[in-house]
Amino acid sequence: MARTPTLDIDAMLADRHTRIVVCCGSGGVGKTTTAAALALRAAEQGRRVVVLTIDPARRLAQSLGLTELDNVPRLVTGLAPEAVPGGSLDAMMLDMKRTFDEVVLAHSTREAAEQILANPFYQAVSSSFAGTQEYMAMEKLGQLRARADREGTWDLIVVDTPPSRSALDFLDAPKRLGSFLDGRFIRLISAPAKLGGRAGLRIVNVGIGLVSKTLTTVLGGEMLRDVQTFVNALDTMFGGFRERADLTYALLKEGGTAFVVVAAPERDALREASYFVARLEQEGMPLAGVVVNRMQPQAAAGLTAARARAAAEQLVESGRPAAAAALTLHATVADLAARHRNVVRRFTAGHPSIPVVEVASLAQDVHDVDGLREVGRRLAGAG
């Protein structure tokens, strides 16, 4: 049977043609930590990196030696003394609403922007509309890439994608929100709003319900006025949303982008990874490979779980419970390691050409730069 190719993380990061690395996958598989570890390793190898995370937890900021992460890139100062000169690392966390506000300010007049930002209907859309987080992550990516091209600030952008129920949401979001904010949406909302009265209100409620189930907080005639104001003020911006969604989608398909699918050695996580791999291939997206986090390493490989349990039983009978407990623990660990190997083997059998790197689990959670550095070493096969 052909050997599964190994994902060469260091080669990917060292390739100056690679300008964007997108870490994607289901939630709870270590995606955010992987993105931060890749960014740190690239910076210490001489790249000028910015990492965009979607993780709201303070733990990552603390791991990077920062008091907080927000919508503005912040310099990480904890690079190793032996790092390659010229490298740097900035980190930021997506603020969905603030990014939406930045788009409004950048693409409308001051008067129109003030009307939009103060509008309750806009506030609902920018804060809670399904897909807004995914779309704004791509808006921010576009902003970062434009700044990097304009100012030479960074030569590598690492993106931690939002945790979605479905791994496909991330790829669909730009097109989905672009459709929501194009001319058809204007016709849907503004036409019934102009009718006024209860009949118009009923139609508006139906129209909004078709688009999103979340926008139900504004009621009555006040809602009609908010919708009309929103549509009138934002009318000239809708084409821009669609255009930028298309540009970002094209950017993701460029050869300078590398998608890294992150999974855990569990059937559900690897099933999600399989769906994502298939979708990336279908869309023609440049897939670098798959990272399988939290693999259980097997100590004393020559001692199988069955032999360890048999020996433990003998030790219990001979009155040596402490030694028996150690062997029982080894058997449990060996079973887990075997289970991890089996599920990964099934995944690679279904995707024999996809490069994979297996990352052994750490003894404790990552809580500082040294922990991220160790994750990076293991991602590169050095751990």
Q: Which amino acid is at 147?
A: R
Look at strands 74-75 and 88-93 and give their pairing: antiparallel
Q: How confident is the model at residue 301 (pLDDT cuts 50, 70, 90)?
A: low
Please determine, for residue 191, whether its predicted confidence score (pLDDT) is greater than 70.
no
Please tell me the predicted confidence (pLDDT) of residue 38: 97
Q: Residue 118, Cβ neighbours under 10 Å: how many?
A: 11
Please tell me the predicted confidence (pLDDT) of residue 195: 46
Please determine, for residue 256, whether its predicted confidence score (pLDDT) is greater than 90.
yes
Q: What is the torsional sign of CA 19, 133, 119, 233?
A: positive
Q: How confident is the model at residue 187 (pLDDT cuts 50, 70, 90)?
A: low
pLDDT digits (tens, 9 = 90+) for 87-110: 999 999 988 889 889 888 888 888
Instruction: Return left, alpha or beta for 196; rule: phi > 0 is left, psi -120 to 50 is alpha, else beta.
Output: left
Look at strands 257-263 and 156-160 and give their pairing: unpaired
Please determine, for residue 346, whether its predicted confidence score (pLDDT) is greater than 80.
yes
Enclosing H/E stretch for 156 = strand 156-160
* Nearest-angstrom CA–CA distance, 86 and 18: 17
Q: pTM of the full predicted structure? A: 0.83
Please determine, for residue 250, whether its predicted confidence score (pLDDT) is greater than 50.
yes
pLDDT digits (tens, 9 = 90+) for 199-209: 444 544 454 45
pLDDT digits (tens, 9 = 90+) for 18-35: 999 999 888 889 999 999
* Nearest-angstrom CA–CA distance, 134 and 358: 27
Q: Which residue has the higher pLDDT, 330 or 258?
A: 258
pLDDT digits (tens, 9 = 90+) for 232-242: 666 566 667 76
Per-residue burial over 130-157, b if 16 or more Cβ lie within 10 Å, else e, is: bbbbbbbbbbbbbbbbeebeeeeebbbb
Please tell me the predicted confidence (pLDDT) of residue 374: 95
Place of tokens 């965009």: 52
Please determine, for residue 211, whether its predicted confidence score (pLDDT) is greater than 50.
no
Please state the separation of Cα 48 from the chain's center in Å: 20
Please determine, for residue 73, whether its predicted confidence score (pLDDT) is greater than 90.
yes
Q: Tokens standing for 303?
A: 């001692």
Per-residue burial over 97-108, b if 16 or more Cβ lie within 10 Å, else e, is: bebbbbbbeebb
| 274 neighbors 246 (Cβ within 8 angstroms) | no
Please tell me the predicted confidence (pLDDT) of residue 231: 67
| 64 neighbors 76 (Cβ within 8 angstroms) | yes
Q: Residue 381, Cβ neighbours under 10 Å: how many?
A: 14
Please tell me the predicted confidence (pLDDT) of residue 51: 96
Q: How confident is the model at residue 297 (pLDDT cuts 50, 70, 90)?
A: confident
Contacts for 319 with CB less than 8 Å, ≥ 6 apart: none
Here the contacts of 69-74 (C-beta below 8 Å, separation 24 or greater) are: 69/93, 70/95, 71/95, 71/98, 71/99, 71/140, 73/144
Please tell me the predicted confidence (pLDDT) of residue 377: 96
Please determine, for residue 217, whether its predicted confidence score (pLDDT) is greater than 50.
no
pLDDT digits (tens, 9 = 90+) for 311-321: 778 887 888 88
Mean pLDDT (the chain) is: 81
Longest dimension (CA), the chain: 89
**Edge-to-edge strand ranges of the sheet holding 88-93:** 74-75, 88-93, 48-53, 156-160, 20-24, 257-263, 287-295, 356-360
Q: Which amino acid is at 379?
A: L
Please determine, for residue 181, whether its predicted confidence score (pLDDT) is greater than 90.
no
Please determine, for residue 273, whether its predicted confidence score (pLDDT) is greater than 90.
yes
Enclosing H/E stretch for 360 = strand 356-360
Q: What is the dihedral of CA 371, 383, 286, 257, to 10 degrees?
A: 40
Average pLDDT over residues 140-159: 93
